[in-house]
A and B are shown apart, each in its own frame.
Chain A
Amino acid sequence: MAEVRHNASSLPLSRSGLSVASWLRRLRTASATERREWLLAFCLLLPAAVMLSLFMAYPFVRGIWLSLTNTVVGQVGTFIGLQNYVILWHDDIFRRAAANTFIYTAVATILKLALGMVVALMMNNLLGFKRILRASMLLPWIVPTVLSALAWKWMIDPTFSILNWIMYQLGVIRFRVDWLGGPVTAMVSVILVNVWRGMPFFAITLLAGLQTVNPEVLEAATIDGATALQRFWKVTWPLMMPITMVVVLFSVVMTFADFQLVYILTGGGPTNSTHLFATYAYQLSIATAKLGEGAAASLAMFPFLFLVVLFQLWYVRCGEGGKGEA
């Protein structure tokens, strides 16, 4: 009989606590128990706050400052306002990288979710070999990305590709496929490798989520005459929505900011068709030494990610609207 209840402070962006006046009012009128609770909260939050302030706050602020200057490596820059962003807006390559990142993230996430869910459902129904399956399922995710990207690079190299060989033997292709050579096939390839890498994350977490779905509810649905598909859509999927959203959110953030995979596989090529925000930002900061522009390219990701976060929160709140407290 788990009933999920939210209180205002556990939801980010809650309506309470946003104005200074209401803050002070609450401080003054708080009771002793409330004050004790605040003290406990403060103590509990302190370690995280310390770590993040020391190692995140300064670099983050510095990064924002960099994006507003024309700093290059070794030279102190001057403030130029939003000019870097304007330059990037007119930058052909940046626009391409932005488009690529959206496509890459959207397609890869959908595929990972679908595949991960299917795998989770299957593994949930499995009776034997559980441990070894779960361990081997995790392998793509555990291998350091640089190394698995190198392995994949060789597996799809036009001269040595084992994939080409298999497809040729199966009669699927007559000429070799240059996986990383064309703008479309290169994007397909990097998405493929990303899905290979990221699917275990979805599968394992969704599997854990599946195990919290009460089997009695499913049995009741079966008795009521629901098919397997209906059981999934009407019972399982909604019940797993909270954990699905968490996993999707994290995956979107990680995929959007993905760097190593594309860097190793294509370096952003051919002809910038696989450049992402992160790889282009890196190229700007290091290869051209323009730290200001590179910082701006990195920060350009931010608004979109923030929107994704907002969307997820809105969705969660709407979904639980019936049960939440105001």
Chain B
Amino acid sequence: MSAKAANPSRKTPQIPRRVVLKGAASLASAAVLDLIPEILRAAQAPAYLKGTKLHFLQWLNFLPAADKVFLEQTAEFSKQMGVEVQVERIGMNDVRTRAAAAISARSGPDIILLDNNSPHLFADSLVDVSEVAEAIGKEQGGYYALSQANACAGGHWLAVPQHALSTGWNYREDWLKEAGYTEFPDTWEGFREMGKKLKAAGRPIGQAFGHSENDPNTYCYSLLWGFGGYEVEKDGKRVVLDKKGTLEAVKFNTAIWKECFDEGGLSWDDSSNNRAFLAGSLSVTLNGPSIYLVARDKFPEVYHAMNHAPQPKGPAGRFYFLPTRSAAVMKYSQNQKLAKEFIRWYMAKAQYGKWFGVCETFMVAPTKMWYGDPVWTKDPKLTMFRDVMKDARAIGYAGPPGRKASESMAKYIIVDMFAKAIQGTPPEESLAWAAGELKKIYGA
């Protein structure tokens, strides 16, 4: 049934597939399962006019190798289908601008890789891709909550999740050892104690609190949630930022700012902590594996000395804010069917697996099947990243990750709440400010 849902244009393949399925549930058959669409496609008359162009706008991947693999796969698809798929890669915040312009002009790329909960923002302009997304979900063990929350609204899939960016605490094992720690602390209080010792030794923790896309949000939202605070109730209307653990979070953060952090963090963007860590001026920072992978190439002494650890547990638990990316098909596209087929194809196990392996844990897959992929265990220092999706939450918690949640994040309300307190505003005041801003957004 999934095959039919994934590709309504094909009429024949149902029976052979079921026969194989009912046979051995071995890896071999799984591989054949993926090959069959290809084989049949090759034998079939081309379903698309030669020269049909498909334009896919996505971000420039941190890993050139991953982009290379994706482009090779794209070329393969193009050849097989007799079409031309053009992949354009630019910075992620530029993708957002292009998406807004394309939707307003009702013309532009056929597929756009949207970030976080952008699919909700543009819901009216996106094609329902439930059949593709659900097929992939069924095939690959179901979706993680975050991926689903960001791409699915009211039971309809607005985009097909492609990946999430992993995050973890990057730390210098050697310096932690010198401070008396053989393991990264698992609670925020322990984190604080460790930070004090590290900063006293001239090796502070680093965190950005400026207006950049990822790092400030990754830290601030997860700290907020860890202490039990959150923005709105489930109904998506009542602002409860000032009701639950938020004040504790803000007070805690202000304290550790002075005690543990590199106080340049207010001017940092997403890349500053990478640079500072590689330069040896930080001992600990929250980031994806991008530091590790650059260190492997260029800074061997940092590479050998560093490791990764999960988020500490707060009173309310352990949470992550992870940026996600999902591929959306635009309603104005003339090639919606082809677009869906392309997505289905590159998300299929054979293609995705290859790409995912090359991504070296920088990405986390949106589906649960990939938890057992060998890429996680190739390097023990990177293994922890496979668990982050389980504790990941979407913004706007506990309400839906809709338009208002986006506005709150785009205006950096949560980040500025922490930043203001760091700059000297009393925590109650900065909390009141943030709650006031949220009420304006949600109340309106």
Contact present between A and B (CB < 8 A): yes
The chain A residues found within 8 Å of chain B, CB to CB, are 72-75, 87, 90-93, 153, 157-160, 176, 178-183, 186, 266-272, 283, 285-291
Q: B406–A270 contact, CB under 8 A?
A: no
Give A266 Cβ to nearest chain B Cβ, in Å: 7
User: Are A178 and B103 in contact, with the CB atoms below 8 A?
Assistant: no
- Complex contacts, B276 vs chain A, CB 8 Å: 159
- What is the CB-to-nearest-CB distance from B257 to chain A, in angstroms, rounded to a whole number? 12
A73-B121, A181-B266 as given contacts; A266 in contact with B281, CB under 8 Å: no
Given contacts A159-B264, A159-B276, A178-B266, contact A287 B406 (CB under 8 A): yes
Q: A159-B276, A271-B419, A271-B420 are in contact. Are A288 and B266 (CB under 8 A)?
A: no
Verify if B230 is at the interface (C-beta below 8 Å from A). Answer: no
What are 6 sample pairs from A and B whose C-beta atoms fall under 8 A apart?
A153-B269, A158-B267, A178-B267, A186-B267, A269-B266, A289-B100
The interface on chain B, measured as residues whose beta carbon lies within 8 A of the other chain's beta carbons, has a size of 42
Contact across chains for A270 and B267 when beta carbons are under 8 A apart: yes
B275 neighbours in A (Cβ, 8 Å): 157, 159-160
Known interface pairs A270-B211, A271-B419; A73-B411 also in contact (CB < 8 Å): no
A73-B103, A73-B121, A92-B437 given as contacts; is B267 within 8 A of A289 (CB)?
A: no
The interface residues of chain A lying within 8 Å CB-to-CB of B39 are: none
Residue on A with the closest CB to B433? A92
Provide the residues of chain A in CB contact with B346, threshold 8 Å. Answer: none
A157 touches B267 (CB 8 A): yes
Q: Report if A74-B269 is in contact (Cβ < 8 Å); known contacts: A158-B264, A183-B423, A270-B419.
A: no
B212 at the interface (CB under 8 A from A): yes
Instruction: Write the B240-270 contact mask toward A (1 if CB under 8 angstroms, else 0).
Output: 0000000000000000000000111111010
Q: Which residue of chain B is the closest to A189 with respect to CB atoms?
A: B267
Q: Is the CB of A181 within 8 A of B411?
A: no
Please, which residues of chain B bring their CB within 8 A of the CB of A72?
121, 403
Q: Which residues of B contact A272 (CB under 8 A)?
A: 412, 416
Given contacts A159-B279, A291-B104, A270 and B210 within 8 Å (CB-CB): yes
- Write out the residue numbers on chain A whose beta carbons fall within 8 Å of the beta carbon of B266: 178, 180-182, 269-270
Q: How far is the CB of B43 from chain A (nearest CB, A)?
A: 40
Q: Is the CB of A268 within 8 A of B211?
A: yes
Q: Which residue in chain A gives the minimum CB-CB distance to B430?
A: A271
Q: From A157, A270, A287, A290, give the contact of B272 (CB < 8 A).
A: A157
Write out, one digit per residue, whether chain B residues 121-136 have a CB within 8 A of any chain A CB (1) or not (0): 1111100000000000
Q: Would you give the 0/1 interface string for B87-109, flagging 1 where the beta carbon is closer than 8 Å to chain A? A: 00000000011011001100000
Contact B267–A180 (Cβ < 8 Å): yes
A74 touches B122 (CB 8 A): yes
The answer, among B125, B212, B279, B420, for a CB contact under 8 Å with A267, is B212
Instruction: State the Cβ distance, B110 to closest chain A Cβ, in Å.
Output: 16
Measured between C-beta atoms, what is the minimum distance from B309 to chain A in Å? Answer: 23
Encode contact with A along B47-59: 1 for CB under 8 Å, 0 otherwise: 0000000000000
Given A268-B211, A271-B419, verify A288-B406 contact (CB < 8 Å): yes
Q: Give 1 or 0 for each of B400-444: 1 = CB within 8 Å of chain A CB.
A: 000100110011100010011001000000000100110010001
From A178, A179, A288, contact of B410 by CB (8 A)? A288
CA distance A84 to B122 in the complex (A): 21
> How far is it, in angstroms, between the C-alpha of A179 and the C-alpha of B263 when the chains are bound?
12
How many angstroms from the CA of A181 to the CA of B207 in the assembled complex? 13
CB distance from A161 to the nearest CB of B (A): 9
CB of B410 within 8 A of CB of A267, answer no
Contact residues in B for A180 (Cβ distance below 8 Å): 210, 266-267
Asked if B125 and A288 sit within 8 Å, CB to CB, the answer is no
CA distance A26 to B403 in the complex (A): 57
Query: Which of A159, A270, A283 makes the CB contact (< 8 A) with B281?
Result: A159
Q: Which residues of B contact A179 (CB under 8 A)?
A: 267
Residue of B nearest to A186 (CB): B267
Given known A-B contacts A72-B403, A75-B124, A286 and B272 have beta carbons under 8 A apart: no
Nearest CB to that of A66 among chain B residues?
B104
Q: Which residues of B contact A270 (CB under 8 A)?
A: 209-211, 266-267, 419, 423
CB <8 Å contact, A178 and B423: no
Measured between beta carbons, the chain A residues less than 8 angstroms from B122 are: 73-74, 289
Besides the contacts A73-B99, A74-B123, A92-B436, what 5 more A-B pairs have beta carbons closer than 8 Å?
A72-B403, A158-B262, A159-B275, A160-B279, A288-B410
| Known contacts A75-B124, A159-B264, A178-B266, A289 near B406 by CB under 8 Å | yes
The distance in angstroms between the C-alpha atoms of A267 and B266, with both chains bound, is 12
CA distance A75 to B124 in the complex (A): 7
The CB with the most chain B CB atoms within 10 A, among A72, A181, A266, A291, is that of A181
CA distance A307 to B239 in the complex (A): 41
List the B side residues contacting A153 at CB < 8 Å: 269
Quote the shortest CB–CB distance from B298 to chain A (angstroms). Answer: 16
CA distance A76 to B160 in the complex (A): 25
* 3 interchain residue pairs of minimum CB distance: A158-B264, A287-B410, A180-B267
- CB-defined contacts of A159 to chain B, threshold 8 Å: 262, 264, 272, 275-276, 279, 281
**A266:B267 contact, CB within 8 angstroms:** yes
Complex: A315 Cα to B403 Cα, angstroms: 48
Residues of chain B within 8 A of A286, CB atoms compared: 96-97, 100
Q: Which of A74, A93, A181, A288 touches B267 (beta carbons < 8 Å)?
A: A181
Question: Shortest beta-carbon distance, B97 to chain A, in Å?
Answer: 5
How many whole Å from A14's CB to the nearest CB in chain B?
Answer: 39
Find the B residue at minimum CB distance from A72.
B403
A186-B267, A269-B210 known; A74-B410 Cβ under 8 A: no
Using Cβ atoms and an 8 Å threshold, which residues of chain A touch B436? 92
Least Cβ distance of B280 to chain A in Å?
10
A226, chain B: closest CB distance, angstroms: 49
Which residue on A lies nearest to B419, using beta carbons? A271
Name the distance in Å between A75's Cβ and chain B's nearest Cβ.
5
Q: A176 touches which one: B104, B123, B264, B419 (CB < 8 A)?
A: B264
